[in-house]
Amino acid sequence: MSKIGFIGLGIMGRPMAGHLLDAGHELVTVKRGKLDETLASKGMRELDAPKAVAEAAEVIITMVPDTPDVEEVLFGEGGVIEGLKPGTLVIDMSSIAPLATQAFAKRIVEAGGEYVDAPVSGGEGGAINAALTIMVGATEEGFKRATPILEVMGKTITHIGGHGAGQTCKVANQIVVALTIEAVAEGLLFASRAGADVAKVRESLLGGLAQSKILDVHGERMINRTFDPGFKIKLHQKDLNLALEGARSLNLALPGTANAQQLFQACAAHGGADWDHAGILRALEALADHEVGR
């Protein structure tokens, strides 16, 4: 079993850390308010700073919102790099910029550590059920070392390539997810406006070529109007920003991605930055002056 420093106990991080504790790993984290009682009861300990976490652990996992957050945890004052021991495995499971990831990896490797970028897909449900899809950018050695730990939290673990490749895959994932959520919302909105029973429409679509996990999970959210976040709109906006910035640098046009980003922005403008990303439906409903199922 490993001594693991887990930094980032949010919607996704809490259950992920819980699975590692259940598997017998020893976990420490950075003190940020009151520690979750369930994690504390399983033996998770709090330390004052990322530096202290690095000094106490042989593996560091970060699961924080954005690129600057990862940079601050790793390289800020009292950061992980100040307490990094030779051979420490640093696994970033956040969703951040691929180019920044390559730079972070270089600094960690130069300091004597091993770096793995391992962003995830599957949302809160995937984290709770230890069924995440994990996209890995690492050396062969880094992937080999990280795999037993990642297997505790995920079901599908793929070594995409070198440093940054995992994050590139995650950006592609977020493009597909955003456009599929938008497609499901438009389909249900069309059916509702035409007077059909949207619950039966969804049931029928789940048996045909339009079937998808998003139609299953997010379609149900849309029909039931349950927009409490499994994954917040503002976080998906961050991911699509990475996609659009990357597209500019690659001289690519991503019109569907840009359109989905504008719909997310419309939600944010109406106070919905913290809605689940299925809330994109609300932006489309505002344009149609019609609510699904009503």
pLDDT digits (tens, 9 = 90+) for 142-154: 999 999 999 999 9
pLDDT confidence of residue 33: 79
Task: Band the pLDDT of 230: cuts 50, 70, 90.
Answer: confident
Can you tell me the mean pLDDT for 121-138? Answer: 96
pTM value surpassing 0.85 = yes
According to the model, what pLDDT value does residue 175 have?
A: 98
pLDDT for position 169: 98
Decide if 294 is inside a domain: no
Q: What are phi and psi of 19, to 5 degrees?
A: -65, -40
Q: What's residue 294's pLDDT?
A: 65
Point out the catalytic residue in the list 170, 213, 232, 234: 170
Residue 32 has pLDDT above 90, yes or no: no
| Least trusted range by pLDDT, from 32-41, 101-110, 206-215, 273-282 | 32-41
Do residues 157 and 177 both lie within one domain? Answer: no
Q: Quote the tokens at residue 68.
A: 């600057």
Which three-class secondary structure string do you get for the chain?
Answer: CCEEEEECCCCCHHHHHHHHHHCCCEEEEECCCCCCHHHHHCCCEEECCHHHHHHHCCEEEECCCCHHHHHHHHHCCCCHHHHCCCCCEEEECCCCCHHHHHHHHHHHHHCCCEEEECCEECHHHHHHCCCEEEEEECCHHHHHHHHHHHHHHEEEEEEEECCCHHHHHHHHHHHHHHHHHHHHHHHHHHHHHCCCCHHHHHHHHCCCCCCCHHHHHHHHHHHHCCCCCCCEHHHHHHHHHHHHHHHHHHCCCCHHHHHHHHHHHHHHHCCCCCCEHHHHHHHHHHHHCCCCCC
Say yes or no: 102 and 189 in one domain.
no
Tell me the C-alpha distance between 184 and 160, whole Å.
28
Average pLDDT over residues 256-273: 98
Q: Give the mean pLDDT of 164-168.
A: 98
Q: Is the dihedral of CA 188, 189, 194, 196 positive or negative?
A: positive
Question: Which of 23-27, 35-39, 176-180 bottoms out in mean pLDDT, i.e. has the lowest?
Answer: 35-39
- Chosen domain end from 162, 178, 205: 162
**Contact at 8 Å (CB) between 5 and 85?**
no
Q: What is the CATH number of the domain that holds 192?
A: 1.10.1040.10
Average pLDDT of the chain, as a whole number: 96
Shared domain for 135 and 200, answered yes or no, is no
**261 and 238, same structural domain?**
yes
In this structure, are 117 and 232 located in the same domain?
Answer: no
The CB density around residue 294, as the number of other CB atoms within 10 Å, is 8
Q: Does 217 reside within a domain?
A: yes
Residues 173 and 95 both lie in one domain: no
Q: Are residues 83 and 194 in the same domain?
A: no
pLDDT for 36: 87
| pLDDT for position 159 | 98
The reply to whether 95 falls in a domain is yes
Work out the percent of the chain whose per-residue pLDDT is above 90: 96
Tell me how many domains the chain contains. Answer: 2
Residue in the structure block whose two tokens are 């961050």: 238
The answer to the question of residue 293 being in a domain is: no
- Mean pLDDT on 64-93: 97
- Is it the case that residue 211 has pLDDT exceeding 80? yes
252 φ, ψ to 5°?
-110, 150
Bigger pLDDT: 230 vs 196: 196
Q: What are the CA-CA distances from residue 219 to residues 17, 189, 229, 282 (Å)?
A: 29, 11, 14, 13
106 has catalytic annotation: no
Overall average pLDDT of the 41-70 stretch: 97
> 32 versus 192: which is more confidently predicted?
192
Q: Is the Cα dihedral 260, 9, 141, 130 positive or negative? A: negative
pLDDT (0 to 100) of residue 155: 97
Domain with 195, as residue range(s), is 168-288
Per-residue pLDDT at 1 = 81
| pLDDT, mean of residues 208-222 | 97
Q: Are residues 45 and 28 in the same domain?
A: yes
Are 209 and 113 found together in one domain?
no
Same domain, residue pair 89 and 213? no
- Average pLDDT score over residue span 192-214: 97
